[in-house]
Amino acid sequence: MKNFVIPNLDKPNGETLSEYLNSSMEAFSHITGISVTYFNNKNEIVKEFKAEDKICNFFDVYKQCSGPCRKNLTSSGQFASRLGEPYIFLCKSGLTNIAISLIIDGVFVGYFIAGPMIMGEFRNSTASRFSLLNDLNDLSLSTVKAFVNKMKVYHPNQVSQVALLFYNCIITAVSDKNDYNALRTQYGQQNQINTVIQKYKKTLNPMEYPYDLENILITNVTNGQIQTAKENLRELLNKFSILEVGDLEGIKAKSLWLFAIIMRIANENEKNISSVLDTDLDVINKLSEAASFTELLNISENLIELITRNMLSSIYNGHSQIIVKALQFINKHYKEKITLKDIEQNLHVNASYFSTLFKHEMGVTFTDYLNELKIEHASDLLSTTNLSIIDISLSAGFDDQSYFTKVFKKAKGVTPKQYRSANSAVKIPTN
């Protein structure tokens, strides 16, 4: 047997795949049995690998450049370009696909779609969509079902593994991997995730977007403000509707993007939201299958309440409604100068009784818990802004800078100035 010769690692140009990338996709398709399609940045099919095993080729709607299938694939390919990593999604028929963008010299030139695949089980709703999208007669539907019965069924974990393999096959064939690494690093920065996402979306999306409202929603979700978060969400979805001129698929795409952000923040803060929602794919299923704006709104509200309630329970898992309401109030107003007197007036509870109950339920005093939130907020500002220390002190709800410095040093072991020097990602101008 002859030794395998690695193809030349020349650079693809978007319209023509390199020899190495072409061989990588052939190897991936042959070994996994999963078809792969490459689209250029004009959303035109350039090449298909293992096309004979692609169920989409049975359907006329798939071949329509302006049809719902192509729009769904286009949206997913563009979304993958923002992530810099694999994006697992459902096609219009409810089958699973993996999208990965092709980025050359910092420019998005096209994208690959691996699939479709069956994940978990073949649903009756998928067969119904086959008929609705393609106006199939009984004979054609039977042929499609027979084809489906031969398709391999993947567990969600297997799909994730396939996505990793697919991704590696692509980036190893691209001479400069820094484009992908830069996107992934930018997307995954925990301490600055909100700022990074806003800047990133602004550079890729010229249309006006309610960034401030999105930030407010994320803050209220993180702080366990269930009712306020639901109100923010309703307002956001209404704005999505205006931006998309009522197009439901466009509204869904923005909603999926929003929940992707929220779930990443929840998981990165170790809230373990995936165990509550089963899998991220379950969220995608629910949002993608909404048949109307009203249904999408109801599903979104239920999801946001579930996520927000889980965020609150990660702070407190007791049963005292007084403490639950107190945590919601504190998490919302901690940047202000709040005291036990404020708790007493807003929750109509005796301050002494509340103080004792809070220490018993939370294991820390009211003041220590409040200061912990303030110090974390101040730490973030020290790391990510060039605000003066006195301005940061005021922003965190401290009237006295010397007291702020004392509390900060007790919590972090260093002064605010020393902390900034060690952790700042912003160059502080010198006077």
Report if residue 270 sits inside a domain: yes
Instruction: Please state which of the ranges 248-257, 301-310, 392-401 shows the lowest mean pLDDT.
Output: 301-310
Mark which of 284, 315, 346 sits at the end of a domain.
315
Tell me if 429 is assigned to some domain.
no
Q: Is the pLDDT of residue 416 over 60?
A: yes
* 253 and 197, same domain (yes or no): yes
SS (H, E, C) the chain: CCCCCCCCCCCCCCCCCCHHHHHHHHHHHHHHCCCEEEEECCCCEEEEECHHHCHHHHCHHHHCCCCHHHHHHHHHHHHHHHHCCCEEEECCCCCEEEEEEEEECCEEEEEEEEEEEEECCCCHHHHHHHHHHHCCCHHHHHHHHHHHHCCCEECHHHHHHHHHHHHHHHHCCCCCCHHHHHHHHHHHCCCCHHHHHHHHHHHHCCCCCCHHHHHHHHHHHHCCCHHHHHHHHHHHHHHHHHHCCCCHHHHHHHHHHHHHHHHHHHHHCCCCHHHHHCCHHHHHHHHHCCCCHHHHHHHHHHHHHHHHHHHHHHHCCCCCHHHHHHHHHHHHHCCCCCCHHHHHHHHCCCHHHHHHHHHHHHCCCHHHHHHHHHHHHHHHHHHHCCCCHHHHHHHCCCCCHHHHHHHHHHHHCCCHHHHHHHHCCCCCCCC
Segments forming the whole domain that contains residue 272: 190-315
- Range 326-331 average pLDDT: 81
Does residue 305 register a pLDDT over 90? no
Query: Are 81 and 228 members of one domain?
Result: no
Instruction: pLDDT band for 112, please (50, 70, 90 cuts).
Output: very high
Report pLDDT for 111.
Answer: 92
Q: Does the pLDDT value for residue 340 go beyond 70? A: yes
* Total number of domains in the chain: 3
- CATH code for the domain of 379: 1.10.10.60
pLDDT at 213 over 90: no
Residues 147 and 105 in one domain: yes
With 0.85 as the threshold, say if the pTM is over it: no
Same domain, 296 and 225: yes
| 115 and 75 part of one domain | yes
List pLDDT tens digits, range 40-94: 888 888 999 988 888 877 776 667 777 777 888 888 888 887 777 788 887 777 7
Q: What is the pLDDT of residue 271?
A: 46
Rounded mean pLDDT, 116-141? 67
Whether the pLDDT of residue 146 is over 70: the answer is yes
Please check the confidence at residue 177 and state whether its pLDDT lies above 60.
no
Q: Check whether residue 255 and residue 340 sit in a common domain.
A: no
Pick the residue with more confidence: 106 or 388? 388
Domain C-terminal end among 315, 337, 366: 315
41 with 126, same domain? Answer: yes
Where residue 149 sits, what CATH number does that domain have? 3.30.450
In a domain, 9, yes or no: no
Q: Do 308 and 328 sit in the same domain of this protein?
A: no
Report if residue 285 sits inside a domain: yes
Q: Do 32 and 166 belong to one domain?
A: yes
pLDDT of residue 198: 45
Where a domain ends, among 148, 180, 212?
180
Q: Do 247 and 165 share a structural domain?
A: no
Average pLDDT score over residue span 377-398 = 86
Mean pLDDT of the chain: 76
